Amino acid sequence: MASITLDDITKRFGEGGDSVVAVDDVSLEIEDGEFVIFVGPSGSGKSTLMRIVAGLETQTEGDIHIGDALVNQLGPRARDLAMVFQNYALYPNMTVEENMSFGLKMSTDLSKQEIKDQVTEAAEMMGIGNLLDNKPGELSGGQQQRVALGRAIVRDPNVFLMDEPLSNLDAKLRTTMRTEINRLQNDLDTTTLYVTHDQTEAMTMGDRLVVLNYGDLQQVGTPLECFYRPRNRFVAGFIGSPSMNFFEGDVEDASTLICDGFTYELSERMYSNVGDRAEVTIGARPEDIELHDDSIDTNGFEVVVDVVEPMGSISYVYIQPVDQSHEQTFVVEVDGQQPIAEGQRLYAHFPPEDVHLFDTKSGETIHQRKLDSDVEMLAGGQSQNASTSSSQL
Amino acid sequence: MATQSQDIDSATGSQWLDKSTQETLVRIGRHGLLLVWSFIVLFPLYWLASMSLKPPGEANALPPDWIFLPTVYNYIQLAQDGAFLAAFANSVIMVGASVVLVLLIGVPAAYVLSRWDIPMERDVLVWILSSRMLPPIAVVIPFFVIFRELNLFDTRIGMVFMYVSINLSLVVWVMKAFFDGIPETLEEAARVDGATRFQGFRKVVLPAAKPGIFSVAIISFIFAWIELLFGLVLTNFNAVPVTLFVYSFIGSRSIEWGMLAAASTAMIIPVVIFLIAVNKYLAAGLSFGVVIKE
């Protein structure tokens, strides 16, 4: 068990002018036993950051402590970690048992019998006790995944590192294994870093999310915090599925936002947050936008339905404002039983309490949605690097 | 749909045959072709073996004697010929040693070229390959001069170096491609598991590369085993390879067909033994690693 501290970690690939910054000055404290998810699109530096923690890459600048020890100079074998790779990286010529005992043989002085006992125990835990004599090539994807996890837990390491471990599984198995990893981490209570680009995994698995983009730390916080209190437009758009809809607009007369296809009257609290900014982006999640047959207030505007995607209990409706100059659709989540046809005309309405506002130029959040007080407790709190400009209604 | 499939049928012009007849014809045709090909490939071997079992004088009779009383006369002659046994032993030792040496040099080189960022890696690879770009006959004289100066002429060790130089580029190129196909995460997993880089290579990557290693081993063995030109120029008496001995049956006035055939047949035996020994790795190896599962 160990905490992990990253201090001003920067990783550049290449030399001089051609160098690419993969991780840019990231500082982070991960507590003992915490389950932390590194999430971001491809190229965000999340895998590189994990590989730096593993010792498979060396940071260009910065310090890493695991527990109290400075590990900058230590190779992966001296860091007492176990890692699960995206392609599982099972040793193809070894049986499952040999795969699982390899780490213990390499890194401990345990006797053969002790190793065998521990491997058997871990294998039972992962439900692969009957596969010990098989070679990885004879196993299904899900079984290989279990072996990879078993190989990690049998070591009883300080830290688990998991690099997109579920992305090679089919959708159904992915859901099962997600729950299983969650339970495993709860039981073992080992500090875990988990890299994913899948925002469902990000939302459901971790104690905290570390959202990265282009090597920059965007936000560190609980999943709900990142969802309800995004620090900037990137986090708002990345967390949540389908993504938040964004509408760029120009502020006129201090309280009116002119967007492409509609105007939006800012509430008093909104425009006090807007200040003297001239360009502001509205953010509204698909589940927060309301569709009505008639305009219910001045902020409603007429839209035409482009595509309907029925999901069963809900439907995603892609619509566009009637008076729009650029063809651009946005998505609204509606009840699955609500009859909506393509080409139908409706009025879209953004409830003012559910809307986020962002500075169009910097992407900073300038106005957060309103939350129920109990959710406020969950989502608020100790967000690291919480934006000072983010105001809570 | 129905009209579509009819269109396709009429387009291929096979409407007059029903489907199962078509399939049968295709199967017969395919097997027929394979039979013809097998015959083309195997007939020379049959010819060689049967010639080696014919008594002297009948070996090159025209028209050939299709029916004859087999005799091991030629083989007994060979077995009693000290020079043949010496040449055979020479070849086994020299070729065997060269295969071991070429793997010891070539496999680690290929691994490093595959995994490390080597400056001018492409150029290094082409440079290694360039040793095979000239026809052997063009380099045999320089080889002769060098061997004479280094006192390697007519030595077994000299011939081992020779065979290594023939096969090194093959081993490096094929094994580099093979290592490229083995995911690097395997070594990374080993290193996180507590292995050193070298342990990762020896215990994880090398076993995974076995099919490739055995494939290049057998190909290197064959290339060295059948080598004649360099043996002819670079040996005289002590390090004569078996190919040269076989060649000696072709005299200036007559050719000892029976003995030639018997010696040639005997030459095939080590190759076959080697092939059988490593057979189970070959199928995987010759597909260059694509069966390796991630």
Sketch the domain layout of chain B as residue ranges: 74-285
Chain B CB contacts of A103 below 8 Å: 192-194
How many angstroms away from the CA of B279 is the closest CA of chain A? 17
Q: What is the pLDDT along chain B (294 residues), one digit of tens a residue?
A: 444 544 554 455 556 778 888 899 999 999 999 999 999 999 999 989 988 998 877 777 777 777 788 888 999 989 998 899 999 999 999 999 999 999 999 999 999 999 988 889 899 999 999 888 889 899 899 999 999 999 999 999 999 999 999 999 999 999 999 999 899 999 999 999 999 999 999 999 999 898 889 989 999 999 999 999 999 999 998 999 999 999 888 888 888 888 899 999 999 999 999 888 888 777 665 554 444 443
Q: What pLDDT does A289 receive?
A: 93
Report DSSP letters for A137-170, one per residue: GGS-HHHHHHHHHHHHHTT--SEEEEESTTTTS-
Integer angstrom CA distances of residue B259 from A48, A300, B79, B228, B240: 68, 102, 11, 18, 18
Which one-letter amino acid corresponds to residue B280? Answer: K
At B5, give phi and psi (nearest 5°): -65, -30
The answer to whether A269 touches A393, Cβ cutoff 8 Å, is yes
How many angstroms away from the CA of A27 is the closest CA of chain B? 23
Q: What pLDDT does B13 receive?
A: 52
Among A221, A212, A274, A277, which residue's Cα sits nearest to residue A25? A212
How many angstroms away from the CA of B207 is the closest CA of chain A? 6
| Mean pLDDT computed over every residue of chain A | 89
DSSP reduced 3-state for A111: coil
The answer to whether A331 touches A382, Cβ cutoff 8 Å, is no
Token pair of B16, please? Answer: 């007059």
At B52, give phi and psi (nearest 5°): -70, -20
Superfamily of domain B74-285: MetI-like (1.10.3720.10)
- What is the distance between the alpha carbons of residues B257 and B263, in angstroms, rounded to a whole number? 10
Token pair of A214, please? Answer: 């282009």
Among B183, B191, B294, which residue's Cα sits nearest to residue A168? B294
Show the beta-strand stretches assigned E in A234-297.
245-252, 256-259, 262-265, 279-284, 290-292
Question: Could you read off the pLDDT of A94-133 as tens digits, one per residue?
Answer: 999 999 999 999 989 999 999 999 999 999 989 999 999 9
Q: pTM for the complete prediction?
A: 0.80
Token pair of A218, please? Answer: 């965007």
* Inter-chain CB proximity A76 and B204 less than 8 Å: no
- What is the distance between the alpha carbons of residues B186 and B192, in angstroms, rounded to a whole number? 10
Whether the predicted pLDDT of A246 surpasses 70: yes
How many angstroms away from the CA of B176 is the closest CA of chain A? 19
More confident residue, B60 or A41: A41
Residues paired with A82 in a beta bridge: A160
Chain A CB contacts of B192 below 8 Å: 54-56, 76-77, 81-83, 103, 161
Chain A CB contacts of B186 below 8 Å: 89, 91-92
Residues paired with A318 in a beta bridge: A307, A331
CB atoms within 10 A of CB A3: 17
- What is the distance between the alpha carbons of residues B262 and B77, in angstroms, rounded to a whole number? 9
At A278, give phi and psi (nearest 5°): -100, -25
Q: Which residue of A has its CA nearest to B193?
A: A103
- What is the distance between the alpha carbons of residues B235 and B143, in angstroms, rounded to a whole number? 12
Chain B CB contacts of A153 below 8 Å: none
Percent of chain A residues past pLDDT 70, beyond the cut: 95
- What is the distance between the alpha carbons of residues A325 and A328, in angstroms, rounded to a whole number? 9
CB atoms within 10 A of CB A354: 16
Chain A CB contacts of B293 below 8 Å: 92, 136-137
Q: What pLDDT does B291 receive?
A: 42
* Inter-chain CB proximity B185 and A87 less than 8 Å: yes
Which one-letter amino acid corresponds to residue B181? Answer: G
Q: B194 at the A interface (CB within 8 A)?
A: yes
DSSP reduced 3-state for A227: helix
Chain B CB contacts of A106 below 8 Å: 190, 193-195, 199
Structural domains in chain A? 4-228 (3.40.50.300), 244-379 (2.40.50.140)
The mean pLDDT of A77-91, rounded to a whole number, is 92
Chain B CB contacts of A82 below 8 Å: 192-193
* Inter-chain CB proximity B190 and A102 less than 8 Å: yes
* Inter-chain CB proximity B193 and A107 less than 8 Å: yes
Q: B283 at the A interface (CB within 8 A)?
A: no
Among A57, A71, A54, A51, which residue's Cα sits nearest to residue A7? A71
Q: What pLDDT does A386 receive?
A: 39
Whether the predicted pLDDT of A252 surpasses 60: yes
Chain A CB contacts of B294 below 8 Å: 87-89
Q: Which residue of A has its CA nearest to B206?
A: A93
Instruction: Select from B194, B203, B293 the Cβ nearest to the Cβ of A77.
Output: B194
Q: What pLDDT does B275 receive?
A: 87
Residue B52 CB burial class (10 angstroms; 0-12, 13-18, ≥19): buried
* Inter-chain CB proximity B203 and A102 less than 8 Å: yes
Integer angstrom CA distances of residue B260 from A196, B38, B51, B133: 68, 24, 9, 32
What region, left, alpha or beta, does residue A364 occupy, with left being phi > 0 and alpha being psi -120 to 50 degrees?
beta
Q: Are strands A20-30 and A69-70 parallel, antiparallel or unpaired?
A: unpaired
Q: Which residue of B has its CA nearest to A159?
A: B192
* Inter-chain CB proximity A85 and B185 less than 8 Å: yes
Chosen for mutation from A18, A87, A99 (greatest number of chain B CBs closer than 10 Å) is: A87
Q: What pLDDT does A371 receive?
A: 84
State the pLDDT confidence band at A377, using cuts at 50, 70 and 90.
low
Count Cβ–Cβ pairs < 8 Å, chain A vs chain B: 74
Instruction: Select from B191, B203, B293 the Cβ nearest to the Cβ of A136.
Output: B293
For chain A, give the number of residues.
393
Q: What pLDDT does A261 receive?
A: 87
Token pair of B279, please? Answer: 């057979």
* Inter-chain CB proximity A106 and B183 less than 8 Å: no
Q: B44 at the A interface (CB within 8 A)?
A: no
How many angstroms away from the CA of B198 is the closest CA of chain A? 12
Scan for tokens 């290694």, then name that residue. Answer: B128
- What is the distance between the alpha carbons of residues A288 and B128, in angstroms, rounded to a whole number? 65
- Please compute, for residue A87, the number of CA atoms within 13 A of its CA located in the half-sphere on the CB side: 15
Q: What pLDDT does A390 receive?
A: 38
At B152, give phi and psi (nearest 5°): -100, -5
Chain A CB contacts of B196 below 8 Å: 77
The answer to whether A208 touches A14, Cβ cutoff 8 Å, is no
Chosen for mutation from A88, A147, A156 (greatest number of chain B CBs closer than 10 Å) is: A88
